Amino acid sequence: MQFNRFMMVRYATAFFFFVNLYWALLMRHTWVVVIPLVIMVIASLAIVEQIKLFGTHTNQLVYSKLFFRTQAILNVVLMISTMTPLFASLFQFVNNTSNNRYTVLFLLLLGTGLILVVNRRLNLIASNHDKYYSRLVAYQAILKDNKEMK
C-alpha cells in the first residue's frame, strides 16, 4: 500500500524518460541530442531514487522533484521555441508548418499539465496530505488492532 502513493510519479517518470529517449534518438546527429540526454541523466537519478523506495520508505523525493521541475522548464522553453525560427532546429523530424507547430505546442502543454499534476502529488506526499497516506494510516491501525486482539 505504501507504494501506491508513488504510482503516478513512477509512471510519469517512465513516460518522460522514454519521450526524451525517443527525441534523443531522432536528433542523434545534431547538437540538440544534448538536451534530452541531460534530462535523461536527471530522470535516471529519479528512477534510482524511486527504486530505493522499495527498501527505504521516505516521502521526500529530491531527485524526482528536480527531474519534474527541470522537465517543466524545458517544456516551457520548447513551447516558446515553437513560435521562433529555433523550432526547425529543435524539431527537425517535424515539417515546419503552422499546423505542426500548434500540434507540438499542444503536446508540450499536455506534458506540462501532467508535470503540474505530478508536482502537486509530490508536494502532497512530502507533507503527508495525500489520500493514500490517510488510507495507509487507517490500514496500519487496523493491523495493530488485530495484533492486539490475538
Is residue 149 predicted with pLDDT exceeding 80? no
- Listed in sequence order, the DSSP H helices in the chain are 7-26, 34-52, 62-81, 87-90, 98-126, 131-149
Give the whole-angstrom CA distance, residue 7 versus residue 13. 10
Q: How confident is the model at residue 133 (pLDDT cuts 50, 70, 90)?
A: confident
Distance between CA atoms of 27 and 10, rounded to whole angstroms?
26
- The domain made up of 2-149 has a fold known as Four Helix Bundle (Hemerythrin (Met), subunit A) (1.20.120)
Residues 47-82 pLDDT 10s: 999 999 888 888 889 999 999 999 999 999 999 999
- Where are the chain's structural domains? 2-149
pLDDT in tens, 72-124: 999 999 999 999 999 999 999 999 999 999 999 999 999 999 999 999 999 88
The answer to pTM > 0.85 is yes
Question: If you average pLDDT over residues 132-136, what whole number do you get?
Answer: 78
Average pLDDT over residues 36-43: 98
- CA-to-CA distance for 53 and 31, rounded, in angstroms? 35
Question: Rg of the chain's alpha carbons, rounded to an integer?
Answer: 19
Question: Could you tell me how many residues make up the chain?
Answer: 150
pLDDT at 5: 82
The pLDDT, as a whole number, for residue 1 is 55
Residue 129 pLDDT greater than 60, yes or no: yes
